[in-house]
C-alpha cells in the first residue's frame, strides 16, 4: 500500500534548541503518539491509485518504503525520555486548506516549496523571498495542544532533506560568501573573534571574510546551531512525527512531481527548482581545506542526519578522511 510505514517510536528526548530566540519558557510538553493510526488511514485515502502504477511509480513507492523503514529502524533503537516542547514545532508549516504539514528545512529547497504551496493560500503563486514571509503561513506551534494532535492525525506530513555536508556548504555560501548582513554581524564577527588568530580590527568589526574552515570550526566547537545548519531531527522530530513522504534533494526531480501527484494536486500546484545538491567534485574542492579531524567531528554532530536518511559517512568526503589515516 502506498506510503504505508511501520510504526514510529513516539518517545524522544526534547532536542536542544540552540538559538537564543528559540529557547523555551515553560510551555507544556505534548504527546503526539496518537498521530500514527489516522495518518495511515489518510495514506490509504490519498494514495489509492486510479490506474495501475507504472514501473517507475512502483520504484518510487518502494523508495518511500525504504526511506521510512530506515527512519523507523533508527527510532526503534533509540531511548528517549520526553517529547518535544510545542514551541519546537515552529518549522512545521500548516496548510489547512490542503490538509498538509510541511517541515521546512532551510537550505533544502524550502523557498521553492513555499512558492509551490502558496497557491493553496488563495493569493496566487508567491515568488522568491516573499514566500518566506512567516506571517503568510501558519505553523504547528501556533495551535492548541488538541489541534496539534488532530492535525498530526489527519494531515499529510512531508519533508525534504539533502546530504549533510552539502547542506553545510550551501549554508556557508548563502550566509557568509554572499555577504548576508545579518549573518555577518550576528555570526561572522563572533566566528572571527573566536577562531582567527591575529584578526584585523576590520575583520573583527565586519565579519565579512569568514572562511569555510572557520565556519565549520565554529559549529564543531560551539555546537550552536542556527536553523540553516541545525540537525534535521532538531527541526522535524523524526521519531515523534510519522511523516508520510520523505524526499531527497538529490532525487527531487522525481520525488516532487510524484509527491504532488499522489496528493492529487499536481494539476494546479507545480514545483520549480533550479537548485541541485552539490556534486562530489565541488564538495571535495571546498572540504579539501578542512582537516579530517573536523570532518569526523561533524560526522558525530550530524550522526542522526546521516543515519536516519541513509546518507553514508563520510560519503563524498571519503577520500579526504582516508588520506588522513
> Mind listing the pLDDT tens digit for each residue in 110-158?
999 999 999 999 878 999 889 999 999 999 999 998 999 999 999 999 9
The confidence score (pLDDT) of residue 275 equals 61
- How high is the pLDDT of residue 7? 35
The confidence score (pLDDT) of residue 28 equals 41
Q: What is the pLDDT of residue 80?
A: 63
For the question of whether the overall pTM of this predicted structure is more than 0.85, the answer is no
- Report the pLDDT value the prediction gives residue 46, as an integer from 0 to 100: 41
CA 56 to CA 152: how far, in whole Å?
29
- Label residues 18-57 b or e (16+ Cβ within 10 Å = b): beeebeeeeeeebebbebbebbbebbeebbeeeeeeeeeb
* Secondary structure (DSSP) of 227-238: TTTS-HHHHH-T
Q: Are 124 and 211 in contact (CB under 8 A)?
A: no
Q: Peptide bond before 94: cis, by omega within 30 degrees of 0?
A: no
Strand order in the sheet with 138-139: 138-139, 92-95, 100-103, 156-161, 245-248
pLDDT of 39: 43
Task: Using 70 as the pLDDT threshold, list the residues of the chain that sit under it.
Answer: 1-55, 80-83, 274-276
- pLDDT tens per residue across span 173-194: 999 999 999 999 999 999 999 9
Residue (of 159, 162, 305, 307) closest to 246 by Cα position: 159
pLDDT at res. 323: 86
Q: Which residues pair with 138 in a beta bridge?
A: 94
Short-list 142, 137, 56, CA closest to 104: 137
What is the reported pLDDT for 12?
38
* pLDDT score, position 272: 87
Max distance between CA atoms of the chain, in angstroms, equals 67
pLDDT at 17: 41
Amino acid at each position: 500500500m502506498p506510503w504505508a510505514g511501520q510504526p514510529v517510536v513516539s518517545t524522544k528526548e526534547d532536542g536542544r534548541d540552540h538559538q537564543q530566540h528559540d529557547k523555551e519558557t515553560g510551555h507544556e510538553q505534548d504527546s503526539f503518539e496518537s498521530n500514527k493510526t489516522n495518518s495511515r488511514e489518510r495514506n490509504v485515502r490519498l494514495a489509492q491509485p486510479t490506474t495501475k502504477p507504472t514501473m517507475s511509480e512502483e520504484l518510487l513507492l518502494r523508495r518511500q518504503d525504504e526511506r521510512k523503514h530506515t527512519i523507523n529502524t533508527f527510532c526503534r533503537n533509540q531511548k528517549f525520555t520526553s517529547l518535544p516542547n510545542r514551541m519546537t514545532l515552529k518549522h512545521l508549516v500548516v496548510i489547512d486548506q490542503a490538509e498538509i504539514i510541511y517541515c521546512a528545512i532551510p537550505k533544502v529547497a524550502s523557498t521553492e516549496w513555499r512558492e509551490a504551496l502558496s497557491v493553496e493560500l488563495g493569493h496566487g503563486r508567491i515568488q522568491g523571498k516573499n514566500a518566506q514571509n512567516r506571517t503568510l503561513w501558519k505553523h504547528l506551534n501556533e495551535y492548541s495542544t488538541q489541534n496539534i494532535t488532530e492535525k498530526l492525525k489527519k494531515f499529510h506530513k512531508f519533508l525534504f532533506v539533502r546530504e549533510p555536508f552539502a547542506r553545510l556548504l550551501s549554508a556557508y555560501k548563502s550566509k557568509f560568501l554572499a555577504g548576508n548582513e545579518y549573518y555577518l554581524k550576528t555570526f561572522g564577527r563572533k566566528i572571527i573573534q573566536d577562531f582567527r588568530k591575529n584578526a584585523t580590527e576590520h575583520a573583527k568589526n565586519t565579519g565579512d571574510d569568514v572562511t569555510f574552515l572557520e565556519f565549520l570550526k565554529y559549529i564543531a566547537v560551539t555546537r550552536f546551531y542556527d536553523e540553516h545548519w541545525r540537525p534535521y531531527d532538531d527541526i522535524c522530530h523524526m521519531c515523534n512525527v510519522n511523516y508520510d513522504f520523505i524526499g531527497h534533494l538529490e532525487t527531487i526531480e522525481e520525488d516532487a512531481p510524484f509527491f504532488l501527484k499522489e496528493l492529487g494536486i499536481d494539476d494546479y500546484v507545480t514545483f520549480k527548482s533550479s537548485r541541485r545538491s552539490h556534486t562530489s567534485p565541488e564538495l571535495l574542492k571546498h572540504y579539501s581545506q578542512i582537516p579530517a579531524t573536523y570532518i569526523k567531528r561533524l560526522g558525530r554532530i550530524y550522526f542522526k542526519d546521516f543515519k536516519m536518511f541513509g546518507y553514508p559517512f563520510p560519503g563524498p568526503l571519503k577520500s579526504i578522511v582516508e588520506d588522513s589515516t
